[in-house]
């Protein structure tokens, strides 16, 4: 970190050079991997990159500018020299010899021995000189001059850190040895020294060991697998041990991904300035909203690094991730995922389950209603789509009762339109099956057909957007395709869903709302919540609804989170902007934000007490001829009238970041980011360089 002041002088903190290229995994050779494994990762405030982090004080130390410091030290030396010269030459009298005369015998002072005179007179003189030097040195800050300019040049290279003791060396896997898996620890230590282990292997095996300690896996099976396969033990179902390539810096020991560097700016807390800015599941678990115009770097500097980190966590058995974006949006290669759903593309291997894998008609109706008409609901926090849910349940329940499955898109469209043929066939099948309860549901639906305010017509119009030739092979419910269901969040799966942006913008928004609704519903009912689940929405336009905001708030307790981006807050209904910013724990405003968007962020970040300094220059009026002459001379030399400066210091409350600052003071490639983790700890808004 490099500091600045009015004189352009501050202490300079230079971070250590990286041990490898950015985005690369720890080296294949054993030494570099062991160095990575043994690097300290101290506890730090939320958002601090912990890999090799050196904690800093909470408050900024007072640093004197270099010119002022050196000038003061030199003047202090001259003053000390002048005082000693005046004392030594008798200009100030002989009072300074009185202590010597009072505390020493006459025989010592009048001795003819050169040794005694040297010890008494020269020793006392040296004592007086030292007293003068200590006094003027304290005034002139000589100790700070020594620390800043002399000591660094005399400092010897630090010796290499000794190898830690076996019980404290992470490369020796002490937790496994203490837990009774000594043979497994020996095999892993040998693989680490031989360069056969990578960072993702450490994270994956550590996850498997936690499963053993919690009683979910037997110790003997774990030990046998590690002794047999070494670093390749406990593999991901795909068999992959890394991604094809990495674009960001990751530390899988702490589950962090580095997004940038906190800028050395007075608006940032001193403890954060110059530190790496990193995110992990403990922060994404409160959900993240990033707002910035097109070209501000949302996808390249925020979305893809986070998606890449979550894919690595999935390979380590720690997370399940679903990434949703437009085709070709730069969300990573296909071989970085286990499942790639390319909606509307004829070569797509996987299909998307329209009903989220559920067999409950009411649950399927609630999710589908949110996807189809959630954006048409009154945009207030208490509004919902219960009427549309009821309409869908009146059709999905009877259809599922007689067919054992839910209707396809064309069949559902025909039922919502009230076409006599499909409704008559469904009624006949219900009568033959003796489904009296479902017949009453169907009767209620038929009575509402054509009445004013019937949601069925709007639902039919919306489902018609998915009943297009481009989607003819998708959303199949007959079992002839390979549908992906978000019920798979119980497993460490990596999924990418490509939405058809070109020519099907409305259908893409429906599908985005569908995936968000299915994700929030599935994440809340998972059996194994130790697996972190995350949905990454590259463009959340049209997905912000009252129900979505409520569901996002509940994800934190389910060990899940959502990462969303918007080009502007205008893409969300006005009544929902404040609830949305309140529902997410991490908020990011990128450069190029509009002032009205900045005002919403300024309101949610609130105000803080700060020290304001008011400086007033008052012209000095001379009353005597000598004073007037001095003032004239001073004006000739400086070119300004003599003034007296008055400084007033007061405590004022002001916005942490104003709307104007967010709109005009955030440089390109930067963002202002506030953080909250799942334990409730938070970091104030930080100015971050996303390119660092």
Per-residue confidence (pLDDT) for residue 18, from 0 to 100: 52
For 23-78, the pLDDT digits (tens) are: 556 655 678 899 999 999 999 999 999 999 988 887 777 677 788 888 888 888 89
Say whether both 223 and 368 belong to one domain. Answer: no
* Residue 689: other Cβ atoms inside 10 A: 17
- Among the candidates 232, 260, 277, a domain finishes at 232
Domain assignment present for 648: yes
> 326 has which bridge partners?
499
pTM of the predicted structure, to 2 decimals = 0.84
Please give the residue that has the higher pLDDT: either 615 or 355. 355
C-alpha distances out from residue 354 to 179, 253, 351, 536, Å: 46, 37, 9, 19
- Among the candidates 232, 250, 281, a domain finishes at 232
CA 454 to chain centre: 45
C-alpha distances out from residue 277 to 49, 50, 69, 256, Å: 5, 9, 33, 9
Per-residue confidence (pLDDT) for residue 189, from 0 to 100: 93
For 319-347, the pLDDT digits (tens) are: 999 999 998 888 989 999 999 999 988 88
Question: Cα separation of 467 and 455, whole Å?
Answer: 18
Say whether both 51 and 70 belong to one domain. Answer: no
Question: Cα separation of 538 and 39, whole Å?
Answer: 34
Domain assignment present for 589: no
Mean pLDDT across the chain, nearest whole number? 87
Mean pLDDT over 574-580 rounds to 92
User: Where is average pLDDT lowest: 96-110, 177-191, 220-234?
Assistant: 96-110
Banded model confidence at residue 550, pLDDT cuts 50, 70, 90 = very high
Mean pLDDT over 546-552 rounds to 93
Mark out the alpha helices in 18-171 (DSSP H runs).
30-38, 66-88, 98-103, 106-109, 114-117, 123-139, 142-145, 151-154
User: 2 pLDDT exceeds 70?
Assistant: no
Say whether both 49 and 103 belong to one domain. Answer: no
User: 275 pLDDT exceeds 90?
Assistant: yes
Domain assignment present for 224: yes
Domain assignment present for 117: yes
Tell me which residue range forms the domain holding 637: 608-655
Question: Cα separation of 133 and 139, whole Å?
Answer: 10
* 690 and 276 Cβ atoms separated by less than 8 Å: no
Domain assignment present for 317: no
Mean pLDDT over 376-403 rounds to 86
Say whether both 386 and 453 belong to one domain. Answer: yes
Per-residue confidence (pLDDT) for residue 6, from 0 to 100: 36
Burial track 347-375 (b if 16+ CB lie within 10 A, e otherwise): ebebbbbbbbebeebebbbbbbbbbbbbb
Domain assignment present for 160: no
Listed ranges 111-120, 396-405, 649-658; the one with the highest mean pLDDT: 396-405
- Among the candidates 232, 266, 288, a domain finishes at 232
Say whether both 33 and 79 belong to one domain. Answer: no
Say whether both 35 and 72 belong to one domain. Answer: no
Say whether both 196 and 97 belong to one domain. Answer: no
User: Where is average pLDDT lowest: 413-417, 433-437, 517-521, 663-667?
Assistant: 433-437
Based on the structure, what is the number of domains in the chain? Answer: 4
Say whether both 459 and 415 belong to one domain. Answer: yes
Mean pLDDT over 203-229 rounds to 93
For 173-190, the pLDDT digits (tens) are: 999 999 999 999 999 999
User: 112 pLDDT exceeds 90?
Assistant: no
User: Where is average pLDDT lowest: 408-412, 528-532, 666-670?
Assistant: 528-532
Domain assignment present for 353: no
Say whether both 442 and 366 belong to one domain. Answer: yes
Banded model confidence at residue 107, pLDDT cuts 50, 70, 90 = low
Nearest by Cα to 291 from 78, 601, 15:
601
Say whether both 47 and 173 belong to one domain. Answer: yes
Domain assignment present for 429: yes
Say whether both 181 and 47 belong to one domain. Answer: yes
Say whether both 115 and 178 belong to one domain. Answer: no
Continuous segment of H or E residues that includes residue 428: helix 420-433
């Amino acid at each position: 970190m490099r500091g600045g002041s009015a004189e352009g002088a501050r202490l300079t903190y230079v971070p250590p050079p990286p041990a490898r290229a950015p985005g690369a995994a720890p080296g294949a050779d054993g030494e570099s991997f062991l160095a990575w494994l043994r690097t300290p990762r101290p506890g730090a405030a939320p958002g601090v990159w912990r890999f090799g982090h050196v904690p800093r004080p909470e408050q900024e130390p007072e640093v004197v500018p270099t010119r002022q410091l050196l000038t003061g030290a030199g003047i202090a030396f001259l003053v000390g020299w002048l005082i000693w010269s005046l004392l030594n030459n008798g200009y100030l009298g002989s009072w300074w010899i009185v202590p010597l005369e009072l505390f020493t015998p006459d025989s010592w002072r009048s001795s003819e021995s050169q040794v005694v005179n040297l010890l008494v007179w020269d020793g006392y003189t040296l004592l007086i000189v030292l007293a003068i030097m200590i006094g003027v040195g304290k005034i002139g800050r000589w100790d700070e001059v020594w620390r800043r300019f002399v000591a660094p040049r005399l400092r010897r290279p630090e010796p290499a850190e000794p190898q830690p003791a076996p019980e404290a060396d992470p490369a020796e896997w002490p937790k496994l040895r203490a837990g009774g898996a000594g043979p497994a620890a020996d095999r892993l230590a040998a693989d680490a020294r031989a360069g056969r282990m990578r960072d993702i292997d450490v994270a994956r095996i550590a996850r498997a060991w936690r499963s053993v300690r919690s009683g979910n896996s037997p110790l003997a099976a774990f030990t046998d697998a590690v002794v047999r396969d070494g670093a390749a033990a406990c593999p991901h179902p795909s068999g992959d041990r890394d991604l094809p390539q990495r674009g960001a810096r990751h530390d899988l020991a702490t589950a962090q991904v580095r997004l940038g560097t906190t800028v050395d700016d007075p608006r940032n807390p001193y403890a954060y300035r110059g530190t790496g800015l990193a995110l992990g599941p403990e922060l994404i678990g409160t959900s993240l909203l990033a707002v910035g115009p097109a070209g501000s770097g949302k996808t390249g500097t925020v979305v893809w690094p986070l998606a890449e980190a979550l894919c690595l966590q999935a390979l380590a058995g720690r997370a399940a991730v679903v990434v949703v974006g437009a085709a070709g949006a730069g969300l990573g290669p296909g071989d970085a995922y286990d499942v790639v759903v390319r909606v509307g593309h004829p070569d797509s291997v996987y299909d998307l389950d329209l009903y989220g894998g559920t067999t409950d008609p009411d649950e399927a109706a609630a999710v589908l209603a949110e996807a189809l008409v959630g954006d048409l609901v009154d945009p207030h926090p208490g509004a919902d789509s219960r009427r549309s849910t009821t309409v869908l349940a009146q059709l999905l329940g009877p259809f599922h009762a007689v067919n054992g499955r839910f209707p396809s898109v064309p069949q559902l469209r025909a039922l919502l339109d009230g076409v006599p043929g499909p409704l008559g066939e469904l009624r006949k099948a219900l009568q033959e099956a003796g489904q009296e309860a479902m017949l009453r549901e169907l009767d209620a639906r038929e009575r509402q057909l054509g009445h004013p305010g019937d949601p069925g017509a709007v639902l039919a119009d919306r489902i018609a957007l998915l009943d297009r030739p481009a989607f003819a092979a998708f959303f199949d419910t007959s079992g002839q395709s390979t549908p992906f269901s978000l019920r798979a969040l119980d497993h460490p799966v990596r999924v990418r869903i490509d939405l058809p942006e070109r020519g099907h913008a409305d259908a893409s928004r429906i599908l985005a709302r569908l995936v968000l609704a299915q994700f929030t519903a599935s994440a809340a009912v998972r059996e194994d919540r130790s697996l972190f689940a995350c949905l990454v929405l590259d463009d959340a336009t049209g997905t912000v609804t009252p129900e979505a905001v409520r569901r996002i708030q509940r994800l934190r307790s389910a060990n899940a989170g959502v990462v969303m981006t918007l080009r502007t807050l205008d893409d969300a209904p006005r009544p929902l902007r404040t609830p949305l910013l309140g529902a997410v724990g991490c908020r990011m405003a990128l450069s190029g934000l509009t002032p009205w968007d900045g005002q919403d962020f300024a309101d949610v970040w609130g105000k803080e007490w700060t020290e304001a300094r008011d400086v007033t220059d008052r012209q000095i009026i001379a009353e005597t001829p000598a004073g007037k002459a001095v003032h004239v001379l001073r004006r000739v030399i400086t070119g300004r009238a003599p003034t007296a400066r008055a400084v007033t210091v007061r405590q004022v409350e002001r916005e942490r970041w104003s709307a104007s600052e967010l709109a005009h003071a955030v440089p390109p490639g930067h963002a202002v980011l506030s953080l909250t983790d799942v334990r409730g700890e938070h970091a104030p808004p930080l100015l971050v360089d996303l390119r660092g």
